[in-house]
Amino acid sequence: MTKTKICGLKTAEDISYVNECMPDYIGFVFLKGRQRYISPQDAAALRKILNPAIQSVGVFVNEPVENAAALVNNGIIQIVQLHGQEDASYALKLKDLCKCPVIKAFIIKTGDDIRNALNYPCDYLLLDNGLGTGKTFDWSLIPDISKPFFLAGGLTPENVRDAIALTRPYGVDTSSGVETDCRKDYNKIKAFINAVKNEQ
């Protein structure tokens, strides 16, 4: 069954939505200056009210590896998602420090981008159009690959079923696709998760 991930949660209201709709994963964005940035302290408070069955993912861009590992070891997140220029040695050091699963995001513009991504020492790939652009990329570029991947970029309740049918990802990841006026929208979150479940 395709997993669901709702990224960019910031408020207790957001948490109440996902606690009711039950995605498999949620994401906290730890990149200062971004619209959906959340501080480690606020993320810790939200984690306490998040249903423990939902895994929390920390999204980082070129963050010192010790900082990301500390959030895992403190129980704030369970998975680290990397969106910067973190090289293979970064991922290996992170795993040594906190033994957590790692998701590495790659911007996909050509088939070669995916083939190059397969060499990265991570547990999951995240195939995207770019960090938070809210736009899709050409899904037909994705070959039949054995490494599990999350599909991201422009996914909405309206197009996620087509995306799953074409690419067969491990999971689907959305943020702006379930927002109205830059705020998480309960009805869109519910519709997105229901669309994924109905595709199975």
Q: Which residues are catalytic?
A: 7, 128
Contact call for residues 140 and 166 (beta carbons, < 8 A) = yes
CA-nearest of 152, 119, 146, 117 to 133 is 152
Check residue 37 and report its DSSP letter: B
Contact call for residues 175 and 36 (beta carbons, < 8 A) = yes
Phi, psi of 163 (to 5 degrees): -60, -45
Tell me the chain's radius of gyration from C-alpha atoms.
Answer: 16
DSSP 3-state of 105 = strand
DSSP 3-state of 103 = strand
| Token pair of 98 as six digits | 């906190």
CA 100, CA 168: separation in Å to the nearest integer? 24
Phi, psi of 167 (to 5 degrees): -110, -20
